[in-house]
Amino acid sequence: MRYVVGYTENDRGQDALELATSLALTQSAGIDLVTVLDWPQDGSMAPGSRRAQEALDRAKEGVPDGVEVATHVRLADSFAQGLLEVADDVDAGLIVIGASSNGLLRRFTVGSVANAVLHSSKVPVALAPRGYRHRATFTRMTCAVGARAGAEGALDVAVESAGRRGLPLRLVSLVALDVTESADSGEAINKAHQHAHSVLAGAVEQLPKGHEASIIVAHGRTIEQAIDDIEWDPGELVIVGSSRLAQHRQIFLGATANKMLRALPVPMVVVPRDWVRPPL
């Protein structure tokens, strides 16, 4: 398994590298560090190629032993296009990106590169919150299951990844109580519990016998408030599915996932619709 990492020599690039390293250590994967430069207008060598390669080499030196790292300086019309091209070239199972540089500490703001990749990628995309520095194996997989059926691809990835590495699996259902004024809060919470327990029962059947699995139904006036009331492990990884509006095997970040992204203090992986590849 290969993980493509969008890298620039700044805090955002370091966030992405830290997340990719944690993922690689957890899942025994290799890393492809990628910097993308604009095509030169006169057809000559792109300015900055040497400096970009030197920066990649420095980043590579900081990756722990045991993690295979390849470096790429790619010329493309945009950073996002370059990442997608390399991901296709190496048959990557994941693209890793850092949050936008103007986000609050340990929070997300999706910049133009991340937004373009999220709406074009055919493989899962991992997003690192600003200031992410957890360079170790993950300690828990969490999957957002919502209050309704759907997002089976994300759940399959979470179940398989947790089972393969022996990590506890937590299912989280988020309920915003002010979505519609006519909604009955008690009924909405009850339905969320029923659906989450049903999903948990199915997940347990797929996990090894005795594997730790749990659920939590969090509610608040908003999705962000519900997330703030949840206890998050520093070694946690959250997996969400793409919106139903997405095309087959592509990502489209829906309204709920967007709200989650603004509030989460831990990394998020967005899985394309109908994703059927191996676990992360």
Task: Determine if residue 43 is left, alpha or beta; phi over 0 gives left, psi from -120 to 50 gives alpha, anything else beta.
Answer: left
Q: Residues spanned by CATH 3.40.50.620 within the chain?
A: 2-128, 140-271
What pLDDT does 150 receive?
Answer: 47
Residue with tokens 């967007």: 258
96 compared with 112, residue with greater pLDDT: 96
Spell 117-153 as b/e; 16+ CB within 10 A means b.
Answer: bbeebbbbbbbbbbbbebeeebebbbbbbbbeeebeb
Q: Quick: pLDDT tens for 175-201.
A: 776 555 445 667 777 777 777 778 778
Residues 6+ positions from 17 with CB-CB distance below 8 Å: 5, 7, 31, 33, 59, 62, 63
Q: Quick: pLDDT tens for 200-222.
A: 788 888 888 889 999 888 888 88
User: DSSP letters along 221-279, please?
Assistant: SSHHHHHHTS---TTEEEEEEPPTTSPTT-----HHHHHHHHH-SS-EEEEPTT--SPP
What pLDDT does 14 receive?
Answer: 94
For 5, the enclosing helix (H) or strand (E) is: strand 2-6
Tell me the fold of 140-271.
Rossmann fold (3.40.50)
pTM comes to 0.86
Q: Quick: pLDDT tens for 125-161.
A: 999 988 898 888 999 999 988 655 445 678 888 999 8
Residue 75 predicted with pLDDT over 70: yes
What pLDDT does 176 receive?
Answer: 74
In CATH, the number for domain 2-128 is: 3.40.50.620
User: pLDDT band at residue 243, thresholds of 50, 70 and 90?
Assistant: low
Q: Quick: pLDDT tens for 19-65.
A: 999 999 998 999 999 999 988 766 566 678 899 999 999 999 999 99
What pLDDT does 182 receive?
Answer: 47
User: pLDDT band at residue 268, thresholds of 50, 70 and 90?
Assistant: very high
Q: Are 85 and 74 in contact (CB under 8 A)?
A: yes
